[in-house]
Structure 1
C-alpha cells in the first residue's frame, strides 16, 4: 500500500516550493510532491480527493488537524489518516531554508505503520468521588460537582464560615488518611478523631446552642482547644448518640472511584499518582482544571499494557537473596514491587514511562507499546531519509508527548512571531515518545550506529527526579563505550527546560560528535542484549580506535566476576544463584566457569557466596573471549576414604572437618565426613547393627 503526502507551506510562510517538492519526493522514493499554500482553505479539494482511496494519507499540518479529521469523518473515508508537524519543528526557524532534509525525514517517519496492538488494561468508574480537605474547600466543590458525580466528603478540619446544609451527600471527618488503588478501585482509610460523628449527626444544632465555649461550628466539628469538657453537648444530643468523647472504634474506610484531594499537602506524594487521583491543593486554577478532568472520568476506560515481563531473565532474586532492584528503585508510580525471587508489576498503576525497561540490565522487562523495534524503525527511517535528502550531521531530540511537545510547538511559534529565538536547528530532528524514560543505551547506541551524531533528551518539570538520574547513569555508560572506541565528541546530553527560551538555548549547544563512517543497515533486535550486541559490534568494527576491553562505571550491565581462590571452596552456591547462566559448573570435575557475555552484574553471586569470595568488575570485553567459558577456580576432587569415589573438593572437606571436629555430634565419627553420601549411610547402618548385637550379648 502506498502513501499520499499532502504538504503545505502554510500561506507561503515556510521555504517550501516546487524544487523542495522534488527534493522531498526523491528522498521518499517517489516523484515530486506538489506543495500547497492553502490546503486547509482554497486547496482543500485536493485533500478531499486524497481521501477517496484506501491508501494512507499523511498531512503535514497539525495546526488544522481537527478540521482535516472532521472532513474525513464527513466523507466516511476509510483511508488511514496521519498528521506530522513540519512547521514549528523546522519551517519556522532561522535555519528553515536548510530544513528540507529534516522535513522529508519527518514525513517518512509519519508514513510508517502504527504499532501493533497489545493487550489493554481496563478501568471502570461509576463516578463515586471522594473529596478530601478542609471544609471551606471541600464543601464548596461538593456543591459544584454534586450534580455530575456521586460525591462523598471527608473533612480534615472544620471552618467557622461554612455550614453543612441538607444531607445531599455523605460527609465524614477524620485524620491519618491513607489512600491506595487506582481509577475505579480506590480504598481509603481514616481515623474518626472528632467527638462528633458526622455520619450520625442530624445537624439539629442542639449541641451548638448549649456549648458554653462556642467550640462547635456549623460544620459540626468540636474545636478541642476551646472545649472545657462540660459535656453539655453530649446531653443535648441525647439518644441520637452522634457525640462520643470516649469513642473506641475510630477506624473507618470506604471504596471510591475517584479522589479529589484538596489537602494542603497531597496524601499521595508519588511523582506519578494513579489515574483518577487529583491533588490540586489550594491552587484555585488547578482545582478548576482538575475538577473538569474529574467529571470526564466516568465510564469505561482502557490503556495499553506498556510492558512485557520475562521471568526467566529476571535478575531480581534467587533463593531468597535480592540482587537487582533497578526497576523497583526507578518507578515513580510504585507500580513495581518485590515478589519473592521475582518482581511484580501492577498494570493498573503503571503509567507507561518505560523507565523500568530502560534500567533493566537483562531485558526481563521490555517496553511493549510501542515496541523497541517500532521506535528503532522510526529512528532508522528518520536518519536514512534525512541522509537521502542531502542532510548532514543528523541529531535527534527525544521529548514527551505532553509538556515536551508543548515546548517544541511554543519554540517554533515564538521563533516565527518574535524572531528573538532561533527555533529548531536544521540538523536536529524531534522524536516524540510516550515518555523520555522509555529509551536507553540499546536504542541510543543503535541510533549512533545508524548515523546520529548526537542524541539529546528534553527533560521538563513533569519528569521524576529518579528518571533523570537513571538517564544520566545510562548516558554515562553509553558515552564511556563510545569514547573508549575512540569516537570523539559528546554524543548524548540532557536538555532541562521549562520554557521555550530555555529549550532554544539548549538546542543551540548541540554539537555533532564522531560516528561510524559506514551507517548500520540492520534492524534493531527486540531483545535488549541482542540489540546491544549488534550496535556495539558495528561501532567496534568501524571504530577509530579499536580496543579489546573498556572499563565501565559502576552499575553498568556488563562486567566480569572475580573469585578469590584462597577463599572459594567451590560450593557452587553462586552457580545456583546466577539467573543468566553466566556462572556454570563442570559435571566432570570441581570447576567454576564463567561466560562474561551472559553476565548482567546483578550481584546475586556476590551476595550468595558464603565465603565472600566474589567481587564484580564492570567492563565491556569486546573479543570472542566474552562468549567463551573461562575457568575461575578449580580443584582436584576429594576421594571417599571408603570407596574412593570422587566427591567435593579437598579444601571443602578440610574446612568442614575443621569446623565440625569439635562438635559433639561429629567428634566420635569425624571420618564419616570424609565419606561420600552412600558410604556414610552404610557406615551408619553398620555401626547401628554392631551396637544392637553388642546390646543383645549383654542381655
Structure 2
C-alpha cells in the first residue's frame, strides 16, 4: 500500500516527485489520498491548497507533502476510539398546539412525531437515540430526537435536541435530524488524565465548587460536566461537539485533543521548519473558496478551531522559526488570551508580533506579508508532560540570560493565569501540607535543606495550596510571567533547622513546628514539668517520660 496518493494535481514535473518517494500519482491503494477512492483517509485540504496556491510546482509539492504528513501524524498518533448507536425515527415536538408546530409535523414525513406540551413535562433525560420525557402525571415518553418550539438554555446542549430559533427553516432542521437516523457513529474527541486534573477528587472551595473547572465553564454542550458531590468530571464523547475549547483553557494539560494531540502537533511541525504557517481549522476551508495563496505561506490544517493554547501557538512559532497567521472566523476566548500572551512575550523579547489573526477573508489577504523570521527552537516534550513545563522549557530558551520585565496573564483572570505564591516565613512550620496539595510539582520539600521550595514557572495559580496551609502563611498573586531566568528556577520559600530531642538528642522535627506546638500546649500543661518536657521529646522518649511519672 502506498503511503500518500496524489491524483489530478497538475504538477507535471515528474522529477520533483523523486524528493518525495512516499507520494504516488498512480496507485491501487493508499493510506491517505486527495481522492475518496482507494484510500483509508481522504484529505480534501490537498485539493483545496492546489486550487488556491499561487506558487511554482516545487513549492506546491513541498506544501502538499507537509499536508500529507500532518494527516499521517494524526493517523499514527491520534488515539481514536469509534462508537456507534442506533437512532430510530421517533421525534418529539416540544411545544404547544399551533399552526407552526402542525406545519412542521406535516413536513416531517420521515419521522414518527409526537407533540408534547412543555407544561406537561417534569424532566427529560437520556441521549441521542434514547431520550425519555417524564411527565407530570408519572407517564414516560421515549423518543430519539427532539425539536424545541420553546426557549430552554440546557436542552439544546444535548446532541439530538435542537431549537427552531437556531435554524432558518424547517427544511434545514429536518436535513440535520435525518443525517443521524440509523447507525450513528462518532469518535473520541477528548483525552483526560485525572492525575494532573485540578478538580478531580479535590476538596471543594468555600462555595462548594472545585478550585478549577474551566473546562466545564467554557463547554457549550454536555461534553464535559462536573459532580460537586464526588468532585469528578464526566465526559460525554457523544454530546461533545469537538470544538476543543476545554483543551485551550486547561492549565495543566490534563485535557488533550484526541484528533490533534500534542504528540500529533510536534510530529507535524517537524515538516514546517523555516516556513510561515497559515493555520486554518478544516471546518472553515469552505470559507476560503475564492482566494489566492502566495508561495511563502505553508498551510497547516487542524481539525477544529478552539483548542489551541499558549503551548500550541508558541510551539508553532518556534518550530517554524517565523511568525504565523491564524485564520478562523471563530476564536475561543482561551485561544485569544493565549495569542495575546505569546504576542506580549515576543514584543517584550524580540519587538515583533508572533501571531496575526484573521477572522475573514479580506483581513487574511492584508496579513500575507507581515510574518517575519523569529528564533528557532525544537523541543520534544516527554509523554504526558505537564503543559506549564512544556511552555516553560520553550520560554526559557527564548529568554536565555536576559531580563525583559513582566507580562500580564490573561485579561479575564479566569482563563489563562500566571503568577506567584508568596509566604510569610515567620508563620510557616514546614508541615508540607501545601506540598501535598500541589499536583503539578511547583511546590516541593527539600529533605536535605529542610526547606519548602517553589518553581513559579510550573504553578497554575489554582490556589488550592492557600487554604491547605493551617497557618495561613500563603498568598497568591496573579502577577503574570517574569521574563527572566529566575522564573524557571526553584526558590526556597521557607527554611528551618532540625530540632533534637532533649532526652536522647535524636533529630525528629523542625524548630518552628516545636515552637508552634509549645505555643499552643504550654498553657495547658502549666505546673506539670513532665508534660512540658514531652513537648520537646521524640515519640520514644515521650512515652518513657510519661510512664516514669505514672
Question: Cα distance 1:286–1:490, how it changes in 2: closer, same or farther (>3 A)?
Answer: farther
Q: Equivalents in 1 of 2:80, 2:45: separation in Å?
A: 27
User: What corresponds to 2:207 in structure 1?
Assistant: none
User: What corresponds to 2:116 in structure 1?
Assistant: 154
User: What corresponds to 2:340 in structure 1?
Assistant: 476
User: What corresponds to 1:233 in structure 2?
Assistant: none
Q: Equivalents in 1 of 2:382, 2:343: separation in Å?
A: 21
Q: Equivalents in 2 of 1:621, 1:425: separation in Å?
A: 35
1:399 and 2:281 aligned: yes
The question of whether the paired residues in 1 share the 8 Å contact of 2:346 and 2:352 is answered with no
Q: Equivalents in 1 of 2:339, 2:504: separation in Å?
A: 59
In the superposition, the TM-score normalised over structure 2's length comes to: 0.80
Q: Equivalents in 1 of 2:115, 2:314: separation in Å?
A: 52
User: What corresponds to 1:280 in structure 2?
Assistant: 164
**SS of equivalent residue, structure 1 residue 6:** coil
User: What corresponds to 1:141 in structure 2?
Assistant: 104
Alignment of 1:110-509 (within 5 A): 110=68, 112-113=71-72, 115-116=75-76, 118-136=80-98, 137-145=100-108, 148-156=110-118, 174=120, 178-189=123-134, 191=136, 250=137, 253-263=140-150, 265-268=151-154, 273-281=157-165, 285-316=168-199, 320-321=203-204, 322-339=210-227, 340=230, 342-381=232-271, 383-384=272-273, 394-401=276-283, 404-409=284-289, 411-412=290-291, 423-451=292-320, 453-460=322-329, 463=330, 468-484=332-348, 486-496=349-359, 502-509=360-367
Q: Equivalents in 2 of 1:643, 1:140: separation in Å?
A: 92
Instruction: Map Cα deviations across residues 439-468 of structure 1 (whole Å, 9 max, x no partner).
Output: 2222222221222533333343xx5xxx62
The question of whether the paired residues in 1 share the 8 Å contact of 2:276 and 2:324 is answered with no
Q: Identify the match of residue 554 of structure 1 among 404, 409, 425.
A: 409
The question of whether the paired residues in 1 share the 8 Å contact of 2:3 and 2:22 is answered with no
Question: Cα distance 1:643–1:127, how it changes in 2: closer, same or farther (>3 A)?
Answer: farther
The question of whether the paired residues in 1 share the 8 Å contact of 2:63 and 2:299 is answered with no
Alignment of 1:523-562 (within 5 A): 527-528=384-385, 529=387, 531-532=390-391, 535-536=394-395, 539-540=398-399, 547=402, 551-554=406-409, 560-562=420-422
Q: Equivalents in 2 of 1:89, 1:534: separation in Å?
A: 34
What displacement does 1:469 show?
1.3
What displacement does 1:579 show?
0.7
Alignment of 1:656-695 (within 5 A): 656-659=517-520, 671=532, 673-681=535-543, 690=550
The question of whether the paired residues in 1 share the 8 Å contact of 2:134 and 2:140 is answered with yes
The question of whether the paired residues in 2 share the 8 Å contact of 1:361 and 1:600 is answered with yes
Question: Cα distance 1:319–1:648, how it changes in 2: closer, same or farther (>3 A)?
Answer: farther
User: What corresponds to 1:633 in structure 2?
Assistant: 494
The question of whether the paired residues in 1 share the 8 Å contact of 2:132 and 2:141 is answered with yes
Instruction: Map Cα deviations across residues 413-445 of structure 1 (whole Å, 9 max, x no partner).
Output: xxxxxxxxxx44443444332211222222222
Alignment of 1:591-602 (within 5 A): 591-596=451-456, 598-602=458-462
Question: Cα distance 1:657–1:550, how it changes in 2: closer, same or farther (>3 A)?
Answer: same
> What runs of 5+ residues in structure 2 fail to find an aligned partner?
205-209, 411-415
What displacement does 1:56 show?
5.5
Q: Equivalents in 2 of 1:650, 1:537: separation in Å?
A: 37
The question of whether the paired residues in 2 share the 8 Å contact of 1:395 and 1:427 is answered with no
Alignment of 1:26-45 (within 5 A): 28=20
User: What corresponds to 1:219 in structure 2?
Assistant: none
User: What corresponds to 2:7 in structure 1?
Assistant: 6
The question of whether the paired residues in 1 share the 8 Å contact of 2:356 and 2:367 is answered with no
What displacement does 1:318 show?
6.7
The question of whether the paired residues in 2 share the 8 Å contact of 1:130 and 1:258 is answered with yes
Instruction: Map Cα deviations across residues 263-300 of structure 1 (whole Å, 9 max, x no partner).
Output: 2x245376xx23212212385x4322112222332333
What displacement does 1:508 show?
1.2
Instruction: Map Cα deviations across residues 102-135 of structure 1 (whole Å, 9 max, x no partner).
Output: 5630344136525145223443323332210121
What displacement does 1:334 show?
3.8
**SS of equivalent residue, structure 1 residue 369:** helix
Q: Equivalents in 2 of 1:99, 1:614: separation in Å?
A: 61
The question of whether the paired residues in 2 share the 8 Å contact of 1:481 and 1:550 is answered with no
Instruction: Map Cα deviations across residues 129-166 of structure 1 (whole Å, 9 max, x no partner).
Output: 22101212334433443x5334332124xxxxxxxxxx
What displacement does 1:582 show?
2.5
**SS of equivalent residue, structure 2 residue 315:** helix
User: What corresponds to 1:585 in structure 2?
Assistant: 445
Question: Cα distance 1:487–1:638, how it changes in 2: closer, same or farther (>3 A)?
Answer: same
Question: Cα distance 1:551–1:325, how it changes in 2: closer, same or farther (>3 A)?
Answer: farther
Instruction: Map Cα deviations across residues 591-626 of structure 1 (whole Å, 9 max, x no partner).
Output: 212345543333222232233322345436764983
The question of whether the paired residues in 1 share the 8 Å contact of 2:278 and 2:327 is answered with no
The question of whether the paired residues in 2 share the 8 Å contact of 1:102 and 1:429 is answered with no
Greater gyration radius: 1
Q: Equivalents in 2 of 1:643, 1:426: separation in Å?
A: 80
**SS of equivalent residue, structure 2 residue 175:** helix
Q: Equivalents in 2 of 1:524, 1:631: separation in Å?
A: 26
In the superposition, the TM-score normalised over structure 1's length comes to: 0.65
Q: Equivalents in 1 of 2:149, 2:321: separation in Å?
A: 47
What displacement does 1:254 show?
4.1
Instruction: Map Cα deviations across residues 174-223 of structure 1 (whole Å, 9 max, x no partner).
Output: 26x644443124343454xxxxxxxxxxxxxxxxxxxxxxxxxxxxxxxx
The question of whether the paired residues in 1 share the 8 Å contact of 2:392 and 2:458 is answered with no
Q: Equivalents in 2 of 1:444, 1:625: separation in Å?
A: 21
Instruction: Map Cα deviations across residues 75-118 of structure 1 (whole Å, 9 max, x no partner).
Output: xx5x556444567557457xx35796256303441365251452
Q: Equivalents in 1 of 2:46, 2:166: separation in Å?
A: 40
For these two proteins, the number of residue pairs brought into alignment is 525
What displacement does 1:578 show?
1.0
